Each structure stands twice: as structure tokens, then as C-alpha cells.
Amino acid sequence: MKRRLESCNKITSTAWRPLLGMGIVAFLAMIIIFGAVDAQAAAASETQEPHGILGFLLNYLATNPFSYLFIALALGYPLGRVKFKGINLGTTAGVLVVGIIIALTASALYGITFDIPGLVEDIFLMLFMYALGMRVGPQFFSGLARGGLDFVVIGLIVVFSNFLIVFFGCKLVGLDPGFAAGIISGSYTVTAVMGVAQSAITSGAFKVPAGMTADMVGANMAAGYAVSYVLSSVFIILLVKYLPAMFGQDPVKAAKEAEASFGGGDTSALPGTAGASILGFTGEQIRSYKVEHEELAGQSVQDLFHKYPHAAVLKVVRGDQVLDAKDNPTLQMGDIIGVGGRYGDLISKGAEVVGTEVDEPRARRVDIEVADIHIGKTEYAGKTLEELGKEIGFGVYLKAMFRTGTAIPHLPKTVVEKGDVLRLAGPAWCVNQAAKALKGVPMVESAYTEVAFMSVALAVGFIVGHFSVTIGGIPFALGTSAGCMLMGILVSWLRTRNPDFGGPTSEGARAFLNDIGLSMFVAVLAAGVGPKILSSFQGTVVIWIALIGLAGALIPPFLAWLYGYYIRKMNPVILAGACAGGRNSTPALNGIQDSSGSAISAVAYPVPYALTSAVVLILGYMAMVFS
């Protein structure tokens, strides 16, 4: 019966996903069907006022955009997980598709638009970028040091090939002025390109041809942007997500190899990152023995530690009394003591040194804590770990050791230096005692989300990203989202070198900011772009926009992939992250992270992202001037 129930539970847990996916597809089909019926009713009454159930629902969503946003997420997430022949859109693209369908249907049938303040989009995007920076910060600088030049080259390959494909593609098929700049903006998913292209018109750098107006050129830009943006946003996710698999590479395996490479071969979580306070497997144990050897009677707990530095008495049970070792009690014959130490030593020497091993839970009931301690100005700097352990290692053992944010071997003869971070495990009072001697503060993982700290970092990131320099009429700026990401990188990087800047951020809190930030940003974006799609469908122009836009979005990162894969022999997952950065696509980065089950690909994202964010503005301006 138990096996049958387990089997049923397993079937139920796996079968609901495709059923839910089919239900969502059916729901979206109902929107189209009801929309067609309502459209006929509207045509008959010669009005575009909302009719029927669908009209009422869409009008309600437009009036209450809060509902629209969460419905887009509620339907987009499961839709993105539906697989067809092993391929799925992913949650980000799922939200984008659902949002566009809802916004497009509302606009096309009833003239309803979703007026969502741009501030909402900006806030959620910056939260996502900060959370992403927090996740990848500890590995960013090591990634730059190991592959910085390659990341720069990849970014340049992507941005310049995008310009060449789009600019000369528009010239070849005879598209009017404005389309090239709009397609570059949309295919690169950098809306700011539209701004610099518009400045080229208003400043007079671009001369409006006879028979056209500035408004007509602007409309061409909007059309090129709308169509190419939607197509490139969806297909770039799929391309980057499946690039490693297309070349016969296992993304999960490649990610593990990259993590080992960037982590110096040690699998321990870096200081300030999720998992730093997890105990995990250890060769240490606490076992209970009865004091039966007279030479132990009359000796204090500390005396025994100096005599046997690889073991420590943590509890003393004397009749109904339970004495804590921190009070340094003196042992008596017949006491039962809880001894913490290496498993092999306790088995081979415990009975010989102390006495008979007994089952006494009270002697073994010790809570173990894991904490990172930064070594400050202390007389212990310059000593070996073996010497350090004999002097201040009572009740603790060393799980990992970090220097300048990198895990290093922690062997007995390893010399401790000022600025090193030691990860100690043991009873809380023992860890605190060691931290006091090292002139440090034990930092443990908690659910504290540090809202004040995060807010300051976001404010600084926004100011840095918003600051711009104008050269030749072109404003250059890092971008507020990139500024917030760099602040997340800086904050987490500082923590890997000095945990005193704050303990590890709760991974649950960070992951929530990551997911809700990206999903909300995409949903707001879909609401704004969706209605513009319909006005672009005129003759064969839309076909050329789609083809050139897709070529400009997909061919450049593919060329960069070939460079990194065949010429530079880069790790496939790291390379995919660099291609996503070169294409300025955070959803594509999220896609490769989903397929690899790791965030390691993001170490390659910021360098090409920051570089191309500036270069594409120059090229967009040039595309407008010379069109």
C-alpha cells in the first residue's frame, strides 16, 4: 500500500505540469476565440467599446494593472515550463508571450491599453540586476582576470556584426530611413538606441529626405523596434539556452567544471554567499565516555585540551548535573564526558585515554554553528594552522580557508596571514572564543535581508549608472540597471574578502528578488510593446523587419560563440554567458542558468554587457545619421 501511494504521488507530481500547460494554451486560445466573437459584435454596432466577458475582463485588467501583472506571471511561468520535443520557452519568455497576447488582444479588439508607470519597470529591473550581482560578485573579478580580453572581443564581435547586418540589410532591401535604427534598438533590446537616434533627427545631424517628415521617420523607428524587439527577445533566449547542447555539450557538466575552475578546486561556498553556514559532511564527531582512568581526575577541561589538542571535552554529565565546558569544570571519576574530535581518533584512542564508551545523549547534545571569521590585527598572523589550532582551536575545526576571496588548501603547515578568512565549526561559544582571539567577528547566515544596506547600494548604483558624459552629441552612460548590478557585485565581492561587511545574504531572499524582479520587468515591457505590433503589420515591410531583426539578434552571438568555442576553447557555459552579455540580454542569461542549473555563466556577463551598452549607442546614432 505504501509503495502504491508513493507511486501515485510521483505520477501526480509529474503529470500536472503538461496538463497545466495545455490548460494555459487553451485559455489563451479562448482569448482569441472570444475576441473574434467580440470583434464581430463591435463591428456590427460600429463601436469599439468592450463587449462580452472577454471585453469586461480586459477592461478590468487595464483599469487594474496590478492584476494584469500577476496574471501574466501566473500563466507565463507554467507556460514557459511546458516542453515540446524536449524544448521549452523558459519562464521569462513565457511571461513575455502571455503579456503580449493579453496586451495585443486588448489593443486590437477594443483599443484598450495598459498604462503602467515606467517607474514600476525600472524598480523591478534594478532589483533583479542587484540580486544577480550579489550572486555572481565573488566570481566576477576572477572571471575578468581569467578571461577579460576574450569577453571584450566577444562583445565587440556581437555589437559590430549586429550593426553591419542591420544597416546594410536595410539598405539592401530598400527600407526607409528610421527602420535601421529601430531594428538595431529592438534586435539588441536596448531602448536607449531609439533615444540617440531621435536626438540625431532633432539636432539636425540627420537630414530628413524630401517627401518625408520627422514624424514619419520616428514611426519607422517605432515599427522596426516593436517587431524586432519581440522576436529577438524570445529567440535569443532559446539560442543562448541551447547553444551548448547544439554543439554536443552537457551544460550541467560544463557548469560544474566552470565552478571548480573559478573556485580554485574547492567546492566550499565563498564567504558572504549562500551555503557558507551549512555544516555539510564532516569527519568530526561527538562521542560519550565514562571517566575511568585516575590520571584524568582533578584535571580541568582546558588542561586536557592542551594535552590532547585534537579532541575537546564539550559536556560533562555528573549524576543529574550537565556541566558546560565553557565553565572549565574539573573532571571526577565516574563522570560521563562528551568529547568532540576526529572520528578515527575517537574510535582508536577514546576508550584507551578516557574509559568505556557509553550511550549518554546529554553528553552529546551540542549545537554546532558554522561561521566565517576575518583575521584582523592579531599576533596569530604568521603562524601555521597547526600552531593556531593548539592555541585557540578548542572545540572548533576548520572547514575551509580563503585568501583574497579564493579558497586555498588548509593544511597543518599553511601559514595564516592577515586578511584571511577562516570558516570554523563548533559550539557557538567555542566559535566566539576563537573569533575574539583572532580579533574578528563570527558571521553566520541568517534570514536578515538588509533592506537598508540594499537600499543604499541601489541608490549609489542608480546614480553611477545615471551619470552620463556627452561626446559629439551622444550621451554615454553605464545605465542604471548595469550600475545596480555592479553595486551588487561590489557588495558581495567585499564580503568574500571581509565578512565583517555582513554575513551571507539569505539565498531565499536573493532568489526571490531575482525572480520577481525579472518577471515583473518582462511583464511591464510586454504591456507596452504588445499594442505597437499591430500597427507595424503593413505589406512586406514587416517581413523584412522580422528577417533583418532576427538576423541581427541571432547571427552576432552565434559568430561570437564560434570564436570562443573553436578559437579560444572556452567553457561552453561561460561562453554562453558572455554571448548573452554581448547581446545585452539578461533573459538569455537567465535561460543558460536554467539549462545549466548554475549561475556561474553570469561571471562572463558584465564585461561584454557594459562594453556593448555604450558602443551600441554610437552605432545606433551612426545608423540614423547615414540612413
Q: Block means of pLDDT (10 residues each) for the chain, length 627 residues?
A: 44 47 55 50 51 80 89 88 67 80 84 84 84 68 64 94 96 92 89 77 81 80 81 89 93 87 60 64 81 87 85 89 88 90 73 82 87 78 86 87 72 82 88 86 64 86 78 62 79 71 65 84 79 64 92 97 94 93 87 86 80 83 87
**Residue 236: per-residue pLDDT:** 92
CA atoms lying within 13 Å on the CB side of residue 25: 12
Helix axes 214-246, 541-562, angle to 10 degrees: 40
**Residue 572: per-residue pLDDT:** 95
Would you mind telling me the total number of residues written for the chain in this entry? 627
H-helix or E-strand containing 338? Answer: strand 336-342
Parts of the chain belonging to CATH 3.30.70.1450: 284-364, 369-437
The C-alpha cell 542587484 sits at 130
Compute how many other C-beta atoms are within 10 angstroms of the C-beta atom of residue 508.
11
Structural domain 284-364, CATH architecture: 2-Layer Sandwich (3.30)
The Cα–Cα gap between 392 and 380 comes to: 10
216: Cα separation from own chain's centroid: 41
**Residue 7: per-residue pLDDT:** 44
Residues 620 and 196: beta-carbon distance below 8 Å: yes
**Residue 506: per-residue pLDDT:** 64
User: Closest by alpha carbon to 89, among 611, 590, 598?
Assistant: 590
The C-alpha cell 579532541 sits at 311
The phi, psi pair for 3, rounded to 5°, reads: -65, -40
User: Closest by alpha carbon to 173, among 540, 537, 539?
Assistant: 540
CATH class given for the domain over 369-437 = alpha beta
The Cα–Cα gap between 592 and 588 comes to: 7
Q: Would you say the pTM of this structure is higher than 0.85? A: no
Sign for the CA dihedral angle at 11, 13, 14, 20 comes to positive
Amino acid letter for position 547: L
The C-alpha cell 539560442 sits at 239
Residues 579 and 557: beta-carbon distance below 8 Å: yes
**Residue 404: per-residue pLDDT:** 60
**Residue 120: per-residue pLDDT:** 87
CB burial string 68-85: b at 16+ within 10 A, e below: bbebbbebbbbbbbbeee
Residues 126 and 462: beta-carbon distance below 8 Å: yes
Residues 435 and 441: beta-carbon distance below 8 Å: yes
The C-alpha cell 572581443 sits at 153
**Residue 179: per-residue pLDDT:** 92
Sign for the CA dihedral angle at 531, 237, 64, 57 comes to positive
Residues 165 and 552: beta-carbon distance below 8 Å: yes
**Rg of the chain over CA atoms, in angstroms?**
31
**Residue 2: per-residue pLDDT:** 44
Q: CB neighbours of 547 closer than 8 A, spacing ≥ 6? A: 169
**Residue 50: per-residue pLDDT:** 58
